[in-house]
Amino acid sequence: MSNIGAIDGHDAHHDDDHHHGPAKGITRWIYTTNHKDIGSLYLWFSLAMFLLGGTFALVIRLELFQPGLQFVEPNFFNQMTTMHGLIMVFGAVMPAFVGLANWMIPMMIGAPDMALPRMNNWSFWILPFAFTMLASTLLMEAGAPNFGWTFYAPLSTTYAPETVTFFIFAVHMMGASSIMGSINIIATIQNLRAPGMTYMKMPLFVWTWLITAYLLLAVMPVLAGVVTMMLFDVHFGTSFFNAAGGGDPVLFQHVFWFFGHPEVYIMILPAFGVISEIISTFSRKRLFGYDSMVYATSSIAFLSFIVWAHHMFTTGMPLAGELFFMYATMLIAVPTGVKVFNWISTMFKGSITFETPMLFAIAFVVLFTMGGFTGLMLAIAPADFQYHDTYFVVAHFHYVLVPGSVFSIMAAVYYWLPKWTGNMYDETLGKLHFWLSFVGINILFFPQHFLGLAGMPRRIPDYALQFADFNMVSSIGGFLFGFSQLLFVFVVIKCVRGGKKASAEVWEGSHGLEWTVPSPAPYHTFTTPPPIAENAHARVETKGDV
């Protein structure tokens, strides 16, 4: 093994020359320390996981197309819901945002690369191994984890299939990846901003990621802790989640949701950043209320730590707990409302054009707000007793995650693809992709609100006859949305392979450091810091603004 060190040390000798391009062949991607390469790796990986998790979702929708058991066994159905959730949360949404962070943060703050480039590569390369291990459980005799992505004890301990052990270690590995990734992002933002790039001049995407990275650092270790308790309950006879030994299954839910609720914001705060960039660009105005956006994001992050038990209203908490978590949850509507107000005010009297990223961004604002409102309904403890574990909850969190997080990722990809590839994507196909996704997603998830209110439980492969019509509609929407994403893959690949050349500025209303470098962005940008004052993103007046 010592030759590894020798070769690496060898590389260190010719480091002075920072301006040669990427290495040739596959090793470029495996050994790379370049933030743009690693960003691309994250994004491609996330796309692959998105399609895999999406396939699982289509299995679910296929089974639910009609009442009765058609295609899969109930146990396999449970494996599908579990794997769909795990892969979408940890494999698709989170890595996509880390990929965007890798690509954009160094360019946005005028840094030469991420702060710790080798560790950056490690953060990525753990993921394919972890997800291969997780996905391989589908092929094992005991079957994949079947206890839901929230893996509540005792389903995930006493009654778990033996593959739970692989699941636990996969989560440990993802956690290590996330912790290293967030350390890198924090160190980059704290330490590598170009002189003059003060905190309050940073683009909002950088701000939201800084706060997200703190959330990750605070809660991924707690996730590691809770799966470790599971591991010991399963293999070493401890009784954390077993009341017969003095423990409590509800303890699992407390520890899990202490991670899980901030996790929800980990998946949405970077989206807020993306949307803030895009709406400002295509409205040709500065972002309205930059400072309040920063404070609102921070407030949401703070509140995310004191609302976790709103996922547990029906566990029999004391009344004081129900009330505290209900009111604390409702408080989140205030900073979120500030953000929505600011996005709309940014568009107000702007000269708006509707390119694909802007279409996704506007759909985000409308549909995410709807998901937020159903969140408020769920926050009301007595009402939640009715909604709990129904399709209403499924509809709620898919509205914030799909037209929320996923739409923002797609908006970001369309927005920055010309910068990454040097080519414009096909605008007509992009718009077609948007409209198919927009229509598909609403046909898919809107009826689920009614199903839930009428009492259809989640994670069930069969249902009563009165739910049949809405389920059929929902499944049709699901397949429409699912297959539309193949168009997205096509547009991205087409753009990577060629197209109309993009200018450095790309978009008429764009401002920020990333638009000052050529398209495609050179392999190394800002080896020494760029001057900031005239480029500063958020707060400096540019001609014709406002």
Partner 1 sequence: MATDNSNSTYETYYVPESSKFPIWASLGLSLFMIGLANALNGIKSGDGAGGATIVAILGFAILGTVLFNWFATSIRENHQGLPSAQLKRSYVLGMYWFIFSEVMFFAAFFGALFYVRQWAVPWLGGEGGRGSSNILWPGFEAVWPVIANPSDALFVPPHESMEWRGWGEALGYLPMWNTIILLSSSVTVHFAHAGLKNNNRKQLIGWLSLTVLLGVVFIFLQAEEYIEAYQELGLTLDSGIYGSTFFLLTGFHGFHVTLGAFMLSVMLARSIKGHFKPEDHFGFEAASWYWHFVDVVWVCLFFFVYLY
Q: Per rule CB under 8 A, is residue 14 in the interface with partner 1?
A: yes
Q: Which two tokens stand for residue 388?
A: 């709990």
Residue of 60, 173, 453, 487 interacting with partner 1 (CB under 8 A): 173
Is there a catalytic annotation at residue 177?
yes
Q: Per rule CB under 8 A, is residue 2 in the interface with partner 1?
A: yes
- Determine the Cα–Cα distance for residues 269 and 280; give it in Å rounded to an integer: 17
Residue of 111, 279, 358, 417 interacting with partner 1 (CB under 8 A): 111
Residue of 48, 119, 352, 454 interacting with partner 1 (CB under 8 A): 119
* Contact criterion met (CB below 8 Å) for 410 and 388: no
User: Looking at 81, 178, 390, 484, which residue is catalytic?
Assistant: 178
- Find the shortest distance in angstroms from Cβ 16 to partner 1: 7
Q: Per rule CB under 8 A, is residue 141 in the interface with partner 1?
A: no
Q: Which two tokens stand for residue 141?
A: 């005799």
* Number of chain residues interacting with partner 1 (CB under 8 A): 99
Which is nearer to partner 1, 187 or 453 (by Cβ)? Answer: 187
Nearest 5 degrees, angle CA 96-CA 369-CA 325? 90
- Determine the Cα–Cα distance for residues 329 and 306; give it in Å rounded to an integer: 8
- Find the shortest distance in angstroms from Cβ 64 to partner 1: 32
- Find the shortest distance in angstroms from Cβ 208 to partner 1: 18
- Determine whether 114 is exposed, middle or buried from the number of CB atoms within 10 Å of its CB (0-12, 13-18, 19+): buried
* Contact criterion met (CB below 8 Å) for 429 and 437: no
Is there a catalytic annotation at residue 178?
yes
For 325-359, b where at least 16 C-beta lie within 10 A, e where not — what string? bbebbebbeebbebbbebbebbbeebebeebbbbb
Residue of 86, 204, 234, 309 interacting with partner 1 (CB under 8 A): 234
HSE of 98, CA atoms in CB hemisphere, 13 A: 33
Closest CA to 346 of 296, 289, 297: 289
Q: Per rule CB under 8 A, is residue 165 in the interface with partner 1?
A: yes
Q: Per rule CB under 8 A, is residue 324 in the interface with partner 1?
A: no
Q: Per rule CB under 8 A, is residue 31 in the interface with partner 1?
A: yes
Nearest 10 degrees: Cα torsion 74, 80, 81, 86: 150
Is there a catalytic annotation at residue 336?
yes
Is there a catalytic annotation at residue 113?
yes
Q: Per rule CB under 8 A, is residue 446 in the interface with partner 1?
A: no
Residue of 129, 327, 373, 385 interacting with partner 1 (CB under 8 A): 129
Which is nearer to partner 1, 257 or 391 (by Cβ)? Answer: 257
Q: Per rule CB under 8 A, is residue 25 in the interface with partner 1?
A: no
Using only C-alpha atoms, what is the Rg of the chain?
Answer: 23
- Find the shortest distance in angstroms from Cβ 447 to partner 1: 37
Q: How far is CA 60 from the centre of its chain?
A: 21
Is there a catalytic annotation at residue 345?
no
Residue of 221, 455, 457, 520 interacting with partner 1 (CB under 8 A): 221
Task: Pick the piece of the chain touching partner 1 (CB under 8 A) from 361-369, 443-451, 475-483, 520-528.
Answer: 520-528
- Determine the Cα–Cα distance for residues 307 and 313; give it in Å rounded to an integer: 11
- Find the shortest distance in angstroms from Cβ 473 to partner 1: 41
Residues in 273-312 at the binding interface with partner 1, rule: CB under 8 A: none
Closest CA to 209 of 269, 260, 290, 120: 269
- Taking CA atoms, 503 is separated from 275, 487, 506, 543, in Å, by 22, 25, 5, 20
Q: Is 177 helix (H, G, I), strand (E, B) or coil?
A: helix
Q: Per rule CB under 8 A, is residue 240 in the interface with partner 1?
A: yes
- Determine the Cα–Cα distance for residues 541 and 359; give it in Å rounded to an integer: 26
Residue of 122, 152, 341, 479 interacting with partner 1 (CB under 8 A): 122
- Find the shortest distance in angstroms from Cβ 162 to partner 1: 5
* Contact criterion met (CB below 8 Å) for 56 and 131: no
In sequence order, what are the beta bridge partners of 423? 501
- Which residues, at least 6 apart from 63, have a Cβ–Cβ distance to it below 8 Å? 69, 70, 71, 72, 77, 461
Which is nearer to partner 1, 195 or 337 (by Cβ)? Answer: 195
In sequence order, what are the beta bridge partners of 390? 457
Q: Which two tokens stand for residue 172?
A: 């440990």
- Determine the Cα–Cα distance for residues 416 and 274; give it in Å rounded to an integer: 10
Which is nearer to partner 1, 16 or 541 (by Cβ)? Answer: 16
Q: Per rule CB under 8 A, is residue 523 in the interface with partner 1?
A: no
Is there a catalytic annotation at residue 459?
no
Is there a catalytic annotation at residue 149?
yes
Q: Per rule CB under 8 A, is residue 464 in the interface with partner 1?
A: no
Q: Per rule CB under 8 A, is residue 316 in the interface with partner 1?
A: yes
Task: Pick the piece of the chain touching partner 1 (CB under 8 A) from 127-135, 325-333, 339-347, 500-508.
Answer: 127-135
Q: Is the dihedral of CA 333, 205, 291, 182 positive or negative?
A: positive
User: Looking at 113, 233, 355, 384, which residue is catalytic?
Assistant: 113
Closest CA to 204 of 265, 286, 116: 286
Task: Pick the piece of the chain touching partner 1 (CB under 8 A) from 248-256, 402-410, 416-424, 470-478.
Answer: 248-256
Is there a catalytic annotation at residue 84?
yes
Which is nearer to partner 1, 188 or 405 (by Cβ)? Answer: 188
Residue of 218, 306, 432, 468 interacting with partner 1 (CB under 8 A): 218
Q: Per rule CB under 8 A, is residue 115 in the interface with partner 1?
A: yes
Residues in 34-93 at the binding interface with partner 1, rule: CB under 8 A: 34
Q: Per rule CB under 8 A, is residue 24 in the interface with partner 1?
A: no
User: Looking at 208, 212, 304, 336, which residue is catalytic?
Assistant: 336
First to last CA, the chain: 60
Closest CA to 426 of 491, 523, 490: 491
* Contact criterion met (CB below 8 Å) for 391 and 79: no
Residues in 186-205 at the binding interface with partner 1, rule: CB under 8 A: 186-188, 190-192, 195
Q: Per rule CB under 8 A, is residue 323 in the interface with partner 1?
A: no
Point out the residues that are catalytic.
84, 113, 149, 177-178, 261, 263, 265, 276, 310-311, 336, 339, 458
